[in-house]
A and B are shown apart, each in its own frame.
Chain A
Amino acid sequence: MATSKTKVESQAIELSKESFEAFCEDISGMFGVSMKCVQQESCTETVEGLKKHFEKLVAVNCIKAKGALEGTFEIIFSREGLFILDGIIAMPEQMTSLLEKCVGPTNIQKNIKSGSLKEAEAARDTIAETGNMLVGAWDRVFRKGLDGHGHFVQTNTFIGSPWDNPEENIGLEGDEESVFVHYEMTIAPYPPFKCGVIFPKTVFDKAKAEAKIRAEAEAKARAEAEEKLKAEAERKTEIEAEEKAKAKVGRKAEIEAEAKAKVGTEIRAKAEAEERARVEAEEKAKAETEEKAKAETEEKVTTTDETTEAQGQQVSETIQRMAQSPATLPGQYAHISLAISAKDIMQKDVVWGSGDDSIQQAITNMQQAGTGYMMVGSDGVLEGIVSKSDITGAVSIYLRPIFAKWRRPMDDATLQIKIKWIMTRLVRTIVPETPLAVIINNIIQFGGRCLPVADEQGKVQGLVTIFDIYQALLSSSPNNYCVGKTRQAPPLAQLDLSTGKEAQDAKQR
């Protein structure tokens, strides 16, 4: 509280200096004089102490303050100041001549030396007006510089000696402590004179009380803030503990996820290994087939023409026997009707595509036709054939839904491989009249699961697959039977293509 009071007192002292300076400027401007004011000292005095600073004859302007400063304070001028101000403010107009200014009016100098209470009383109106001017200047300065300042009003002008009865004369109690700020004022060409402001300590009481309330409020706010901070810190600790616990649980989940991922990786690796083994087996079989085909070619039994030729000349002995007499058919072939030929069992609606088609296009074509093979070429002339197995071997296994989690752009890129790079080029064909037994033998001997059927001009007429053969065998066997449904290989549509529409369509089919 003492600090706050000191602060208000300090502000008041500082502003009183500015106020006196503002007053000097006002007087200088209004009356064309040079006037200045210098602060001498500031101290705490009782009436007894104040008496020592001023003679018996003084002028006192009592000013009532409202607002931050509450109460009456006094502005005091020494006898010299009283007469000089009176002379300057109320001097006859003719005395403002340059000459008079230089030497100073005689009556002012005379009053400074020996002016009595009588002469001083005559200046009352001027001193009162001086008080009004002081209030104007002080009000301006305090309004700007002191928060909560209300206004100043001059309540009394005292001329004489206030010290005999200070309470009645100027409102100061004898033992009351006041803050006294002493100034020296000069109005050229006259000698400097004393003046000052007396702030009774009670003037600061309101500010003191307000400061106390403010300080208490601040202390309360500070305590609340500290409490809030403490609560926040506690909450933070709790959150950190919770997070720590969560992290612990999270780490456990992470470990579990890692374990799961590990299992997934193992499954994937296993699937890859299986796929690789299958592809290798297929490639091996393919290579063997090609090798055999090469050998066959050398023996002139593998081309289309040769196949036709073989029908009459170089088919295997068993087939020859089959062709000659059903009775000679060994074991399981005994029931095969020699009347069935390729044209009877072949699929006539075959799918065609270009070697420049992508795997994706081929898949779409094959899915739409519901077949596992696509002829590659144009105008019925065969350049190659591509099967579902060829495609399965060429595309990434990660395109399968089960591996969707690990699917990468590179896997999708395999769908763009051109058919010509994966198709079987050396295509063994048969003529429409090729008997079923020859077809079976051909397949058994050279591998593969289908044989395109071409006419004498080499144009493809249809396709015979092992399923067509099974169908024919079942139809021709007297004891054929089937329990339930045969398990089918997964359709190509199960490959998870980008749109997914094909998969849906295939499923519907």
Chain B
Amino acid sequence: MAKTLMIVDDSATMRKIIMRTVRMSGLQFDRTEEAGNGNEALEKLGANPVDIMLCDINMPEMNGTELVKKIREMDSCKNTKIVMVSTESSQELINGVIADGANGFITKPFTPEKFQEKLSPFMN
């Protein structure tokens, strides 16, 4: 079944790095999109919901946690799996975003293997 992916990060370089690492992991997506902030992500999701979203937490204007809450209010995105990507890895933070509606968490520095491990369950 065809899958779609969105990467949300305020750093274009990081978006590139993530995209590259996802490809290196061997995971195949039919469509990949990028968003530089929360509002851009919501706009794109409203138009075209995706299956998996990789989202940074520390972003200006709207942080990752707020974005997750808003996405979970969207009926069109109720099946979207959201995986947070962050340097911060405190259990408190992880528990918080999972409670807000995220489906997984990847800590930086990440590797292709880590993406493979965390995203594979959502590919079927």
CB-defined contacts of B93 to chain A, threshold 8 Å:
none
B24 close to A32 (CB less than 8 A): yes
B115 to chain A, nearest CB (A): 11
Which of B15-23, B45-53, B62-70, B97-105 lies at the interface with chain A?
B15-23
With A30-B17, A30-B21 as known contacts, state yes or no: A132 contacts B11, CB within 8 Å: yes
Asked if B111 lies at the interface with its beta carbon under 8 angstroms from chain A, I say: yes
Asked if B110 lies at the interface with its beta carbon under 8 angstroms from chain A, I say: yes
B24 close to A29 (CB less than 8 A): no
B31 to chain A, nearest CB (A): 17
With A93-B20, A93-B23 as known contacts, state yes or no: A133 contacts B109, CB within 8 Å: yes
Which secondary structure dominates chain A's binding surface? helix
CB under 8 Å from chain A, chain B span 22-44: 23-24
Asked if B123 lies at the interface with its beta carbon under 8 angstroms from chain A, I say: no
Asked if A296 lies at the interface with its beta carbon under 8 angstroms from chain B, I say: no
CB-defined contacts of B12 to chain A, threshold 8 Å:
125
B17 close to A89 (CB less than 8 A): yes
Asked if B74 lies at the interface with its beta carbon under 8 angstroms from chain A, I say: no
CB-defined contacts of B87 to chain A, threshold 8 Å:
132, 135-136, 139
A103 to chain B, nearest CB (A): 20
Asked if A46 lies at the interface with its beta carbon under 8 angstroms from chain B, I say: no
CB under 8 Å from chain B, chain A span 7-57: 26-27, 29-30, 32
The complex places the Cα of A26 from the Cα of B23 at a distance, in Å, of 18
B112 to chain A, nearest CB (A): 8
The complex places the Cα of A137 from the Cα of B112 at a distance, in Å, of 18
With A30-B17, A135-B87 as known contacts, state yes or no: A125 contacts B108, CB within 8 Å: no
A108 to chain B, nearest CB (A): 16
Residues of A in contact (CB 8 Å), total 19
Asked if B13 lies at the interface with its beta carbon under 8 angstroms from chain A, I say: yes
Q: Of A30, A129, A137, which is within 8 A of B11 by CB?
A: A129
The complex places the Cα of A92 from the Cα of B17 at a distance, in Å, of 10
A136 close to B109 (CB less than 8 A): yes
B111 close to A129 (CB less than 8 A): no
The complex places the Cα of A93 from the Cα of B24 at a distance, in Å, of 9
The complex places the Cα of A128 from the Cα of B20 at a distance, in Å, of 18
Q: Of A96, A125, A136, which is within 8 A of B13 by CB?
A: A125
With A89-B17, A125-B13 as known contacts, state yes or no: A29 contacts B108, CB within 8 Å: no
Asked if A371 lies at the interface with its beta carbon under 8 angstroms from chain B, I say: no
Q: Of B13, B24, B108, B111, which is within 8 A of A126 by CB?
A: B13
B108 close to A133 (CB less than 8 A): yes
B11 close to A128 (CB less than 8 A): yes
A31 to chain B, nearest CB (A): 8
CB-defined contacts of B13 to chain A, threshold 8 Å:
89-90, 125-126, 128-129
The complex places the Cα of A136 from the Cα of B13 at a distance, in Å, of 16
The complex places the Cα of A133 from the Cα of B85 at a distance, in Å, of 13
CB-defined contacts of B111 to chain A, threshold 8 Å:
29-30
A136 close to B11 (CB less than 8 A): no
The complex places the Cα of A78 from the Cα of B109 at a distance, in Å, of 23
A129 close to B14 (CB less than 8 A): yes
B14 close to A30 (CB less than 8 A): no
B116 to chain A, nearest CB (A): 13
CB under 8 Å from chain A, chain B span 86-124: 87, 108-112
In the complex, which residue of chain B has the Cβ closest to the Cβ of A29?
B111
CB-defined contacts of B23 to chain A, threshold 8 Å:
93
Sample 5 A-B pairs with CB under 8 A, ordered by A number. A29-B111, A96-B24, A125-B12, A125-B13, A132-B14
A interface residue numbers (CB < 8 A to B) = 26-27, 29-30, 32, 89-90, 93, 96, 125-126, 128-129, 132-133, 135-137, 139
* Beyond A93-B20, A129-B11, A132-B14, 7 additional pairs, beta carbon < 8 A: A26-B108, A26-B109, A125-B13, A129-B14, A129-B17, A133-B109, A136-B109
